[in-house]
């Protein structure tokens, strides 16, 4: 049984409604950013209309801005299972937050300390840690298994030792869609005495996160990948957010989480992020089976989110399975990563492929002319593309879907690819 029909949900997205008026646009560019429901647009517009101010003032708009920030923090905490909203830090995007934290974390690094990163990761979870080589840190790369695009977890674990101060890795690849066993790897890293920094940018739109169960030290994500505005969020264990020294201006508050939020934040984006989380929670209200998703002490919103992500996950696995079945009909396509349809549960609906003799960019342009939006290149998963030997030849074409895609769209993509 299909867990739900995305068509009624698409009605809330102006980008999709425009399609009904003639242009056939198929959004398969989700790992690069998702479209937003009208409530996100309205929340941002109404922030500017009714509450636009800086924080901490005595007048109404400033007080309402403080409320907007508080609500957003609470909702992000619900989304990530953080419990304490003060462990959520807002920032411009995941990349800026990671550089910001790495700079502070670097002050605890001694020459010879080791940091484990992975070949599966986006460069935003490599470059900030590589910068710490200046302080004498030794960066160790956990290997990608070329044959199926998953992380070689045995190799990752073999790199952990008493010198390991941090393990930074992704929960889901932005190029191949492969999911890592973040809970297991976090445990292994903790056993070695290392802190764990998780990149959940490509995980949050597809799978329910629970930082308290994962027990990670830090986790980052970006609202524009889950139907919200361009904004990043960092979860950090309170003890770390209190102990580490942020680079901040002297008059700014020194309490957690404010001490980590440099300068004036995008309050309008916070309003939009709240609306995106409410959009997801509403899916849980309407489609979810909350009873199977009970979590002791969880807020009502979190219960709805758990139910939503359960329905979304099942539907996306159904899309992945269908995609993997259909792509086999096209022998000219070389698909990287997990290719077996029985692995649909080990991945997000993100796929990378090449066609011999045609550049990935030309394939993406051909698809774009026919209304299919997708990316080609390395999508900043530079190390991964180098490992697959694709960097020199323009990377790969990436098809990335969400719960808003349909079987008919996959059929249209396959027809279009068949005639390339
Ligand atoms: C897995 C992953 N990590 C990090 C990033 C960087 O996120 P941001 O654009 O919020 O800096 C991206 C962006 O595509 C990503 O896919």
Q: What is the pLDDT of residues 218-251, one digit of tens each?
A: 999 999 999 999 999 999 999 999 999 999 999 9
Residue 266, domain CATH = 3.40.640.10
Q: Which helix (H) or strand (E) holds 318?
A: helix 300-327
Domain extent at residue 406: 6-37+306-418
Per-residue confidence (pLDDT) for residue 24, from 0 to 100: 76
How far is ligand 1, taken at its centre, from the CA of residue 20, in Å?
31
Per-residue confidence (pLDDT) for residue 406, from 0 to 100: 96
pLDDT digits (tens, 9 = 90+) for 167-206: 999 999 999 999 999 999 999 999 999 999 999 999 999 9
How far is ligand 1, taken at its centre, from the CA of residue 199, in Å?
8
Q: Produce one character per residue of 370-402: b if its CB has 16 or more CB atoms within 10 Å, e if not.
A: eebbbbbbbbbbbbbbebbebbeebbbbbbbbb
Q: Is residue 287 one of the residues assigned to a domain?
A: no
Per-residue confidence (pLDDT) for residue 136, from 0 to 100: 98
Residues 212 and 310 in one domain: no
Residues 255 and 339 in one domain: no
Bridge partners of 354, per DSSP, are 334
Q: Is residue 301 one of the residues assigned to a domain?
A: no
Ligand 1 atom at minimal distance to the Cα of residue 232: 10
Counting ligand 1 atoms within 8 A of each CB, the residue from 129, 174, 402 with the most, and so the one to mutate, is 174
pLDDT digits (tens, 9 = 90+) for 349-378: 999 999 999 999 999 999 999 999 999 999
Ligand 1 first shell, C-beta below 6 A:
31, 93-95, 122, 124-125, 170, 174, 199, 201-202, 222, 232
Residues 131 and 52 in one domain: yes
Mean pLDDT of 87-113: 98
What is d(CA 37, CA 126) in angstroms, rounded to the nearest whole number?
32
Task: Map tokens 């997205």 to a residue.
Answer: 13
Residues 16 and 112 in one domain: no
Count of CB atoms situated within 10 Å of the CB of 239: 11
- Give the rounded percent of residues in the chain with a pLDDT score beyond 70: 96
Counting ligand 1 atoms within 8 A of each CB, the residue from 380, 381, 400 with the most, and so the one to mutate, is 380
Q: Is residue 282 one of the residues assigned to a domain?
A: no
Residues 259 and 313 in one domain: no
Q: Is 18's pLDDT higher than 90?
A: no
Mean pLDDT, rounded, of the chain: 95
How far is ligand 1, taken at its centre, from the CA of residue 139, in Å?
20
pLDDT digits (tens, 9 = 90+) for 380-390: 999 999 999 99
Domain count, the chain: 2
Residue 322, domain CATH = 3.90.1150.10
Residues 237 and 356 in one domain: no
- Peptide bond just before 257 cis, omega within 30 deg: yes
Per-residue confidence (pLDDT) for residue 287, from 0 to 100: 76
Residues 123 and 237 in one domain: yes
Q: Is 20's pLDDT higher than 70?
A: no
Ligand 1 atom at minimal distance to the Cα of residue 379: 14
């Amino acid at each position: 049984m299909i867990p739900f029909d995305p068509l009624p949900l698409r009605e809330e997205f102006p980008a999709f409604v425009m399609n009904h008026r003639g242009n056939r646009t198929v959004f398969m560019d989700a790992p690069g950013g998702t479209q937003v429901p009208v409530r996100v647009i309205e929340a941002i517009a109404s922030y500017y209309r009714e509450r636009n101010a800086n924080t901490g003032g005595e007048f109404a708009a400033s007080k309402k801005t403080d409320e907007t920030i508080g609500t957003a923090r609470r909702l992000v905490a619900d989304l990530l299972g953080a419990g304490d909203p003060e462990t959520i830090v807002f920032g411009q995007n995941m990349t800026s937050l990671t550089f910001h934290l790495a700079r502070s974390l670097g002050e605890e690094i001694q020459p010879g300390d080791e940091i484990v990163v992975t070949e599966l990761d986006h460069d935003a979870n490599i470059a900030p840690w590589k910068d710490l080589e200046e302080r004498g840190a030794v960066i160790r790369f956990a290997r990608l298994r070329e044959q199926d695009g998953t992380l070689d977890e045995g190799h990752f674990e073999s790199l952990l030792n008493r010198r390991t101060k941090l393990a930074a890795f992704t929960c889901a690849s932005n190029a191949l869609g492969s999911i890592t066993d973040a809970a297991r790897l976090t445990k292994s890293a903790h056993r070695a005495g290392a802190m764990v920094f998780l990149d959940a940018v490509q995980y949050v739109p597809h799978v329910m996160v629970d930082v308290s169960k994962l027990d990670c030290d830090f986790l980052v994500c970006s609202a524009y990948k889950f139907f919200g505005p361009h904004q990043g969020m960092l979860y950090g264990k309170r003890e770390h957010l209190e102990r580490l020294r942020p680079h901040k201006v002297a008059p700014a508050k020194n309490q957690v989480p404010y001490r980590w939020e440099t300068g004036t934040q995008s309050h309008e984006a916070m309003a939009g992020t709240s609306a995106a989380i409410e959009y997801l929670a509403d899916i849980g209200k309407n489609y979810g089976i909350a009873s199977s998703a009970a979590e002791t002490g969880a807020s009502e919103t979190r219960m709805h989110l758990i139910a939503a992500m359960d329905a979304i996950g099942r539907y996306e696995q159904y899309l992945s399975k269908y995609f993997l079945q259909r792509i086999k009909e096209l022998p000219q396509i070389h698909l990287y990563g997990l290719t077996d349809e029985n692995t649909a549960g080990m991945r997000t609906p993100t796929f990378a492929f090449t066609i011999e003799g045609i550049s990935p960019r030309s394939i993406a342009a051909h698809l774009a002319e026919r209304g299919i939006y997708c990316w080609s290149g390395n999508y900043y998963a530079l190390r991964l593309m180098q490992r697959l030997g694709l960097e020199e030849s323009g990377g790969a074409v990436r098809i990335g879907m969400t719960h808003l895609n349909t079987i008919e769209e996959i059929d249209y993509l396959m027809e279009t690819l068949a005639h390339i």
